[in-house]
Amino acid sequence: MNIAILSIGDELLRGIIDNKNASYIANKLFLNGCQINTILTVSDDLNEIINALKDLSKSNDIIISTGGLGPTPDDKTIEAIAEWVNVPLIVNEEVKNSIQKFYNKRGVPINQFREKMAMIPQNSEILSNPVGAAPGLKVKHNNAILFALPGVPLEAQTIFDESILPWIIENFSHNLWYSGYTFRNIRESELAEFIEPLIKKFDTLSTAYLPSYGYVRIVFTANKDFSEDINFKKFVSSLIYTFREHYVYDNIEKPEIYLHSLLVNSNKTLCTIESCTGGNVASKIVSNAGSSGYFKGTLVCYSNEIKENILNVPEDVIATKGAVSEETVRYMVANGKKLFETDYAIAISGIAGPTGGSEDKPVGLVHFAIAKSSKIFHYQYNFHGNREMIIESATNTAILLLIQHILH
């Protein structure tokens, strides 16, 4: 089965917005044993879209397009699909009624641009959009099936999850096996030095290294299942044991998603006490629906006055040891945990730069403290890069350290 993703929109080609839909869809398909062959981005030009559909349909069984289904004049995808399939556009009464209900519920009047979304290529199958106005479409032409989705990420991803992914899983066999592992605060080259000489022993098995700020994900893929292979199990065990200080979990989900899955049904609570990360850890945590079940909140104590007055960090500790120190984060996490009355707490204090560093405490130095039960654990790392990279590395490290303490 060959699958292509077609992303449509001038805003993507101009770098105004990130192509979140393509990465989301590709990752979901990969996790379900499907391999994407091509991801193509084209402008809102009618001929560009038609030519892309013609080219992709020659070598792919399925095309998933995003963008260009909206009400504005630059939304050309519907017209392009009709020309590609060589059918007329017709008013679909079901879609028209759905659009009217969507806007009436919001007190928004219907105009000619919004009515345009009810024009559908003849013989198309409608894919319901539960979170937006424009529906998705399923169109078959020659030997290819096109799924057309709106460009708004929430709408595209919801329709994909509810209508397209289940259909693909049901109707196509999947021959891509994978196994993934996440390690924190280690370079991919160090892992590769261990992995590459050993991986050659396994027929068809390949390795992908997915580095992010503060962590690396390793993904092994093959066209056969190695999950019960004794030698592969021994290889993975030796990998994990060799890098046991850095190993976090058997998965390639993002840290904040994995942490969420651990805590959502655990009856344990969490708070974050953040300085240099400025609430970024909390922001990632609450990006998951349902996080209110375990996350009580965060305190961004950026100034020394807040550390002293709210978290009761002794003034002499900050004066002698500094705000970025083991002693300070230990006070921060202990008193923050009491303040929020949680099972787990993490505190972060560091120097994100580009200024503020010294010979003893360079830019990139970050201290972490985790409190669970009556114990406090301290960690210290030196991150590299610009301010944004250091904050992201510290954020991801904080979440991964929490996961390690919950799991182990």
The DSSP secondary structure of 103-169, one letter per residue, reads HHHTT----HHHHGGGEEETTPEEE--TTSSSPEEEEEETTEEEEEE-SSHHHHHHHIIIIIHHHHH
Q: What is the pLDDT of residue 378?
A: 98
Q: What is the pLDDT of residue 280?
A: 98
Among 114-118, 122-126, 134-138, 144-148, name the one with the lowest average pLDDT: 114-118
Mean pLDDT, the chain, rounded, equals 94
Tell me the residue type at 202: F
Q: At 353, is the pLDDT very low, low, confident or very high (cuts 50, 70, 90)? A: very high
Give pLDDT tens digits for 33-66. 888 999 999 999 999 999 999 999 999 999 999 9
Q: At 111, is the pLDDT very low, low, confident or very high (cuts 50, 70, 90)? A: confident
Q: At 113, is the pLDDT very low, low, confident or very high (cuts 50, 70, 90)? A: confident
| Mean predicted confidence (pLDDT) in 295-316 | 97
Backbone phi and psi for residue 29, each to the nearest 5 degrees, phi listed first: -70, -40
Q: What is the pLDDT of residue 221?
A: 92
> What are the structure tokens assigned to 158, written together?
């919801």
DSSP bridge pairs for 242: none
Give pLDDT tens digits for 274-293. 999 999 999 999 999 999 99
Strands 136-141, 144-149: pairing is antiparallel
Inform me whether the pLDDT recorded for 340 exceeds 90: yes
Q: What is the pLDDT of residue 40?
A: 98
Q: At 87, is the pLDDT very low, low, confident or very high (cuts 50, 70, 90)? A: very high
Tell me the residue type at 190: E
* Helix residue ranges, H only, 200-279: 230-242, 255-263
| Mean predicted confidence (pLDDT) in 241-261 | 96
CA atoms within 13 A on the CB side of 400: 29
Q: What is the pTM of this model?
A: 0.82
Domain architecture of the chain: domains with CATH: 3-171 (3.40.980.10), 177-249 (3.30.70.2860), 255-407 (3.90.950.20)
Cα 335 vs. chain centroid, distance in angstroms? 32
Q: At 73, is the pLDDT very low, low, confident or very high (cuts 50, 70, 90)? A: confident
Q: Supply the DSSP symbol for 254.
A: -
Inform me whether the pLDDT recorded for 174 exceeds 80: no
Distances (CA, A) of 144 to 40, 141, 157, 175: 16, 6, 21, 20
Specify whether the CB–CB gap between 92 and 34 falls below 8 A.
no
Inform me whether the pLDDT recorded for 223 exceeds 90: no
